[in-house]
Amino acid sequence: MDAMWKEQSKNALSEAERQPPAHAYSGRSVRVHPGRVGEAIRNLDLTLARNRVRYYLRLQQRHEKRGEKLRRLKSERWRKQFANEVRKKVQLVTKIRSRGA
> Is residue 52 domain-shared with residue 73, that is, in the same domain?
no
DSSP assignment string, 46-90 = HHHHHHTHHHHHHHTTS---HHHHHHHHHHHHHHHHHHHHHHHHH
12: Cβ contacts below 8 Å, ≥ 6 apart: 18
> Is residue 5 domain-shared with residue 51, that is, in the same domain?
yes
- Determine the pLDDT at residue 31: 86
How many domains does the chain contain in total? 2
What is the distance between the alpha carbons of residues 21 and 73, in angstroms, rounded to a whole number?
Answer: 30
> Is residue 10 domain-shared with residue 47, that is, in the same domain?
yes
> Is residue 26 domain-shared with residue 47, that is, in the same domain?
yes
- pLDDT mean by block of 10 residues, the chain; 101 residues: 68 57 72 92 91 91 95 97 97 93 65
Whole-prediction pTM: 0.57
> Is residue 29 domain-shared with residue 71, that is, in the same domain?
no
Whole domain around residue 17: which residue ranges? Answer: 1-62
> Is residue 19 domain-shared with residue 37, that is, in the same domain?
yes
Q: What is the DSSP letter of 14?
A: S
- Determine the pLDDT at residue 23: 77
- Determine the pLDDT at residue 29: 77
Q: Interior CA angle at 37 toward 35 and 43, to 5°? A: 135
> Is residue 76 domain-shared with residue 50, that is, in the same domain?
no
Q: Which amino acid is at 43?
A: N
